[in-house]
Amino acid sequence: MKTLLITSALAASALAANGQSIKYPTAPKDATVDEYFGVKVADPFRPLEDDTCAATAAWVEAENQVTNAYLAKVPQRAKYLKRLKQVVNYEKVYTPFEKNGKWYVYKNNGMQNQAVLYQMDALGGAQRVFLDPNKLSDDGTVALKDISFSNDGKYFAYVISRSGSDWEEIYVMDVNTGKMLSDHIVWAKFTGVSWYDGGFYYSAYDAPEKGKETSAKNEVQKVYYHKMGTPQSQDVLFYQNPAYPLRFYSVSVNEEETMMFLYETGMDQGINIYVRNLRVPNSQFIQMTGDCSKNYSPVEIIGDTIYMMTNAGAPKYRMMVADINKPGYNDWKELVPESDAVLDNVTFVDGDKMVLTYKKDNCSQAYLYNISGKKIGDIQLPGVGSASFSGKRERKELFYSYTSYTVPSTTYQYDLATGKSTVMSAPKVSFKLSDYTSEMVYYTSKDGIRIPMFLTYKKGMKLNGKNPVLMYGYGGFNITYPPSFSAMRIPFLENGGVYAYVVLRGGGEYGEDWHLAGTKLQKQNVFDDFISAAEWLIGNKYTDNQHLAIMGGSNGGLLVGACMTQRPDLYKVCIPEVGVMDMLRYHKFTIGWNWAPDYGTSADSKEMFEYLKAYSPLHALKEGVKYPATMVCTADHDDRVVPAHSFKFAARLQECQAGQAPVLIRIDSKAGHGGGKPLSKVMEETADIYGFIMYTMGMKMK
């Protein structure tokens, strides 16, 4: 590789209305050329993949100087942050839950970086702090990822991540005394804690090479057993499968410690499950499922019966039951058949009852069943939005949280006898929720498919063709984003903005068929859906191409990158966040290989290589094109979608930009892919993004 040179000479950039040129830092380059099926593809910004080299570090610092200097002169940014600190500052109380005779609830007083876990002797009783994640770091960058109580009630394990990384650590404390114990696990990843016989199981990888913690490919995940009171060096390797290094493995044990499940994922769209009867001495795992393209999820165990949720034979999911004595899929029996809505979740409560939650047009519907699969009645929800239920088979209490685009998350207790919901905790906000409304509209995509879109805006909006609109989408991995409230959007909405969420193919909103219609050689459907939504908004006078912004994160960052390179004329502002931008090499970093079932890889076939290259945002950029104003967002500890994707895309976009619109890259520090990010950092990032959008569109802020 040639010696790398970088210049950090920066030009001060005036924010004139016509957009004065910015002098961007020169990115390190080399002469790398890859060959795919006889086709040579240059990758000149390959040096930016090495986030430990001095040249990359200098470029990152220089780019942040350019971005910070630009944003410092955006008047909307400071105003947005000031208003955020007002509208976000309200108490948030989450759904309570019971463990071993004690009650627990998460609560945020309004401006805390992380929610605090409180303990109560009885439901509604006096609250005392049980775990305050804000005390785990000075700046809130240590996030609580998961918790688990031992089945005997003695121990409490919690999983944390640092600076947004996917790498996880496990700590344990004594429930009765609150004393921290010596047990400490490092280099865990994508793990839970499953208790059994005085210890617990967890999933981990070998420690990575120093300096490569956030970029090295993760292979051969292992399941370990940790005995309480012993060092991690004595943990027993319980399971690994080196023959399949690119798969995930985990173990779970039910609370009664009668059954153990082994889960295998990463080889296709679904999962394989193995079960072991712990009541039988020296029992071995028996394979329950064999079609790894389908999803299977145990939701409850009663005696020998395993209640399962699956999309096998039912693209929109159904309930089935299996017997531990004959656990193979061919012996399962259907309990609740597939319906026209997508079965989303199952909650057992009060001994012999189940709450089945469905998604209908991405909004929640809930029904009460008995464990024989007979429907007992409907559960009336507060409105058209999303609900999440919480309960235990051993208890009569049933709770749910409800939210929508215009209703902050509110906790209800549901009375099984009367069918009535009672508010347990509702936020007291400092702005008028009644000022806003939300509607669902339908439009037709390029191939004639009907697509829903949610629009949220201030009442009284006029269809004048010039409203500022922010479109958001994801469209991948069977993931759904049901309606939910975010105070982060309020300053945009109260100043005349419209928030549009598009329900794209590739997600799970309408079941597995909808998901598969946006994968591999059908991925272009997702981009066409988003582009068609933009055209519909313009055609129906909501906005025009001078007042339309698009934003998305991760797979949604890919969405933004693909749409802005395919239709740069359609948008004023583009915000690709932590996006997958290099579709030819994504599978070579950390756990990128796990996305192959949705994307396919450049090594699969010449057809797949050509298809990926055609829409890959990095490779679709062309010199001489006027691209929209763009702010690429990433973070230094993102080991899910490594920053190299955003680095290379931003460097190439700056090189190609023929127009006057700015091309910035915002590189956050001590942050990762987004999960667990402290509130302070979320507000700063939100103010930067919305300030940039509003300034570019010419929006004034009160």
Which residues are known to be catalytic?
Answer: 554, 673
Dist CA 86 CA 537 (whole Å): 31
What is the DSSP secondary structure assignment for residue 281, as one 8-state letter? T
**174/155 Cα distance (integer angstroms):** 5
DSSP annotation of 592:
G
Q: What are phi and psi of 611, to 5 degrees?
A: -65, -45
Nearest partner of 560 among 527, 599, 520, 515, judged by Cα? 527
The residue among 172, 143, 168 whose CA lies nearest residue 158 is 172
Which strand ranges, in their side-by-side order, compose the sheet holding 421-425? 386-391, 398-404, 407-414, 421-425
At CA 280, angle to CA 276 and CA 281, rounded to 5?
105
Q: Are 366 and 344 in contact (CB under 8 A)?
A: no
H or E, element range at 72: helix 54-72
Of 334, 287, 275, give the one whose Cα is nearest residue 307. 334
Structure tokens that stand for 623 in this block = 């010199």
H helix or E strand, kind and range, residue 680: helix 679-697
Q: Are 647 and 663 in contact (CB under 8 A)?
A: no
Q: Which residues have a Cβ under 8 Å from the Cβ of 565 and sit 6 or more positions away?
A: 617, 620, 621, 622, 627
* Number of Cβ within a 10 Å radius of residue 25: 22
Which residue do the tokens 């005036």 mark? 14
Among 137, 142, 144, 163, which Cα is nearest to 104's?
A: 144
DSSP of 177-195, one letter per residue? T-PEEEEEEEEEES---EE
Cβ distance 270 to 245 under 8 Å?
A: no
As given in the structure block, the two tokens for residue 515 are: 């998901």
Collapsing DSSP states into helix, strand and coil, what is residue 515?
Answer: helix
DSSP 3-state of 407: strand
Under 8 Å between Cβ of 487 and 437: no
What are the residues whose beta carbons fall under 8 Å from the beta carbon of 543, sequence distance 6 or more? 465, 466, 467, 468, 469, 498, 537
Q: Which of 269, 250, 273 is nearest to 320 (CA)?
A: 273
How many other C-beta atoms can be found within 10 angstroms of the C-beta atom of residue 250?
19
The two beta strands, 573-577 and 548-553, are: parallel
By C-alpha distance, which of 570, 590, 572 is closest to 580? 590
**Sign of torsion over alpha carbons 515, 518, 522, 523:** negative
